[in-house]
Chains A and B, each alone.
Chain A
């Protein structure tokens, strides 16, 4: 069983402790580093308190700024309020447009334009009417046939191959990007 210690090891530079019984202080003196540790702890506590005071002041300042800004807004009148209402309504409109989009026609068009040697890798389409297709074809002619077929499908315009390149070195497989635009969206969005 080890004899008890005061938790901290004694620094070597202080030398070995010698017996120092004192009947005025029956229990032994504190560890030599106790005062140093206490000073460090106090310094840390003071630093923390200073940070807390600073944070509280910043919070008060920010709160005051917020109140000032709100008062300015109230003084400015209702137009900003209308703008804010429009902004709040925007996500709801977008969701409605997404639900009403003719997704079935989009997928049907892509399926119609497909040829057997093409394998689709990705499809991106949004309510803005833009379609981006990424696919692989056993040869470059397959990609061109797909583009021509999609151009022939009613409702699509501006069909073009943006990129066509060999998928892997030593392979004949071609990877391509194809873009198109729905004409009904164009006409609907036109002023």
Chain B
């Protein structure tokens, strides 16, 4: 693991020295495990065909998977996102992170000073993600304690967006689309304009039910100019039933996340 060096100056003390096990090469550790980290536990994908398994926390998973390697996908329940105005005058990633830090501190207070940040950009947009629901330094220390290497730590929505655009290339030319990433009673809503992520919203549904999701979807802006918005949804944990006004990708009523929405390389539409 190559610990982040940009923001952690305010995220805790220095990481402990790597153990002998941690020095083992990346590829010698077997298959890459993909985990979905939520605020109350961890989903671990066991290949494309097997169902995801639930663990109480990251430490519990590491305990059973010593000396392996993994990538962490971060649920919307542990990440805040800021999508910046396209005209934001920032000259470097450092300035973008500083801007994001200032905005998060403005809205969330002093606690945001310790959040781990990561910035991103696409053709015309940029943004900053903040890890608020888990302690970044503790995650690294936990992995190191169990000899686990972490190869990546990104928001789940970024992975889902990549997979959806691969599956539905027409979205790249759709004027306005909403992509709802459902995690039972929680949802991320990505606003896509011509395939570009223009906003990331979060919502706690009244209940993990199709009507609640449909009600939320009905509140989303349905038009951009003359074009009507396309609303897509994927995820898990919702009660059975049709969701009015929403095109569902896969199934929403599974109790566990589908590995197809977690694994980058093994996804086949």
Q: Which residues of A contact B (CB under 8 A)?
A: 1-4, 16-28
Contact = CB atoms under 8 A, between A and B. Distances in A.
A18 to B, nearest CB: 5
Contacts of B4: 23-26
Contacts of A18: 122, 158, 161-162, 165
Interface stretch (B91-99, B181-189, B244-252): B91-99
Contact of B120 (A4, A16, A28): A28
Contact of B154 (A2, A16, A17, A21): A21
Contacts of B117: 23, 26
Q: Which 6 A-B pairs have the closest CB atoms?
A: A21-B118, A27-B93, A19-B120, A21-B120, A26-B6, A1-B89
B2 interface: yes
Contact of A4 (B91, B118, B127): B91
B195 A21 contact: no
Interface size class for chain B?
35 or more
Contacts of A27: 6, 93-94, 97, 119
Contacts of A24: 1-4, 150-153
B93 A21 contact: no
Contacts of B1: 24
Nearest to B6: A26
A16 B153 contact: no
Contacts of B151: 24
A22 B152 CA distance: 6
Contact of A26 (B88, B97, B150, B195): B97
B144 interface: no
Interface string B79-114: 000000011111111111100000000000000000
A21 B123 contact: no
Contact of A21 (B87, B92, B119): B119
Contact of A22 (B3, B90, B122, B154): B154
